[in-house]
Amino acid sequence: MIFNADITYDELYSLFQERVRRNEPLTRHCALGVGGTADIWVSLESRKELIGLVSLCAEEHWPLLAVGNSTNVLYADAGVRGIVARLALKEYRIEEHGDGTALLVADAGVSWPLLLHDLAILGWGGLEFGAGIPGTLGGGVISNAGAHNSDLGHVLEWLEVLDARGSNLESEDQISYPYVRRYQHDELDLSYRYSRFRAKRQARFDGQGPLIAPQRQMIEPPEIVMLLGIRLHREDPRRLQTIIAEHKMHRKLSEPPPHRAGTVFKDPPGHDIDSLLEQIGMKGRTHGKAQISTAHANYIVNLGGAQAADIAALIMEAHHRVHDRFGIELELDIELRGEWDVR
Query: Minimum distance between the CB of residue 208 and ligand FAD, rounded to whole angstroms?
Result: 25
Name which of 260 and 319 has its Cβ closer to ligand FAD.
Answer: 260
Interface with ligand FAD (CB under 6 A): 31, 66-73, 87, 108, 133-136, 138-140, 142-143, 145-147, 221, 224-225, 258, 261-263, 335
Query: Minimum distance between the CB of residue 14 and ligand FAD, rounded to whole angstroms?
Result: 25
Query: Minimum distance between the CB of residue 9 and ligand FAD, rounded to whole angstroms?
Result: 21
314 membership: H or E segment, kind and range: helix 308-326
Name which of 235 and 333 has its Cβ closer to ligand FAD.
Answer: 333
Query: Minimum distance between the CB of residue 218 and ligand FAD, rounded to whole angstroms?
Result: 14
Residues 6+ apart with CB under 8 A from 18: none
With the C-alpha atoms ordered 75, 77, 78, 84, is the resulting torsion angle positive or negative?
positive
3 state SS of 287: strand
Name which of 88 and 232 has its Cβ closer to ligand FAD.
Answer: 88
Residues 6+ apart with CB under 8 A from 170: 176
Query: Minimum distance between the CB of residue 202 and ligand FAD, rounded to whole angstroms?
Result: 9
Residues 300 and 105: their CA atoms lie apart, in Å, by: 34
Query: Minimum distance between the CB of residue 125 and ligand FAD, rounded to whole angstroms?
Result: 18
Cα distances (angstroms) measured from residue 71 to each of 57, 106, 140, 269: 25, 19, 10, 23
Name which of 127 and 240 has its Cβ closer to ligand FAD.
Answer: 127
Name which of 101 and 331 has its Cβ closer to ligand FAD.
Answer: 331
Judge whether 94 and 232 are in contact, CB under 8 Å: yes
Name which of 83 and 87 has its Cβ closer to ligand FAD.
Answer: 87
Q: What are the backbone dihedrals phi and psi of residue 145, each rounded to the nearest 5 degrees, phi first? A: -60, 145
Peptide bond into 221 cis (omega under 30): yes
Residue 84 Ramachandran class (φ > 0 left, ψ -120 to 50 alpha, else beta): beta
